[in-house]
Amino acid sequence: MKYTWVTPEMFSEKLEELVDAMGADAILQVPGVYELLVEHLNDAVLDGLVEDAGVVHLKKVDGASLCGIKTEPMSDDIEDVDCVDCLQQHAIICAVALVRGLDRDACTALLEGVCIQVYDADDIGTLREAVVANIEDGTIDPESIEED
């Protein structure tokens, strides 16, 4: 059947209708869509995760604000504390925030430094995700992420 009667506007309208009906889970299962969105929304996702994790036990360490991330005590009766778990969690949050600025070479060095193979076909979004996952699981030390 020939589709010469279909205009670009008609096609776009029907496509939008089908996409609206699919839902996010189904759309992300379409080959290539997830990868495109990861690359396009990488910074927004990382910023959102940092914002979501911004409430920790401490405000300051040694009188200095930690990385400029909004931090508040979890309750009014907790002053500035040096809780080891809080400091470690905050180090992870800060490191994850810095990952978005890493280039391919920096990501590769971090991953290969813990014996994780990096392939030429791996895009920067994939490498950043791998760095974040390995920071969160403790494979990569958050202190090894340096700010430029």
DSSP letter for each residue of 15-68: HHHHHHHH-HHHHHHSTTHHHHHHHHHHHHHHHHHHHHT---S-SEETTEESTT
Interatomic CA distance for residues 146 and 148, integer angstroms: 6
**Can you give the pLDDT at residue 130?**
92
Q: Where are the domains of the chain?
A: 41-144
Per-residue pLDDT tens listing for the chain (148 residues): 788 899 999 999 999 999 999 988 899 898 988 888 988 988 888 777 766 665 443 444 444 444 444 445 444 444 444 455 566 676 777 777 788 888 999 999 999 999 999 999 999 999 999 998 898 888 988 888 876 5
